[in-house]
Amino acid sequence: MYTGTSVTPDRPRKNEGFGFLPCCPACFDMRRGPECNHCVPPRPGGSCITTEEECGYNKDACISAKFLTKPFSHFRRCIKMTDCELLQLNGFINTHCCNTDNCN
């Protein structure tokens, strides 16, 4: 007697056991950003000690910036390249954007 359902041998369905992969490709993105010089004065125009920092998630560039108007400050650190490029459009900040280790 036919019941309207078919019986097939047990076999894995397509992507069975790996269904999370298409949902989470960023979970496996192990790329790291560059290592940058880091120096951010505690107050504008102040001094700072340069250290190195490894850029984390979403920070793919280094920046070196000098403010050309008062309080004539500066900084060096990791940044997102698109944010660095936006700062380059500001005529009151001299910026250098790069993406290799300690390029700033």
Burial of 80 (0-12, 13-18, 19+ CB in 10 A): middle
**CATH architecture entry for 34-98:** Ribbon (2.10)
Average pLDDT over residues 34-47: 96
- Residue-averaged pLDDT of the chain: 83
38 pLDDT tier (thresholds 50, 70, 90): very high
Domain ranges of the chain: 34-98
32 pLDDT tier (thresholds 50, 70, 90): confident
The label of the residue with tokens 């500001």 reads 90
Which residue, 70, 81, 32, is CA-closest to 53? Answer: 32
Which residue, 88, 104, 94, is CA-closest to 67? Answer: 94
* Percent of the chain predicted with pLDDT > 70: 70
Q: Return the pLDDT at 28.
A: 47
The label of the residue with tokens 């000690």 reads 49
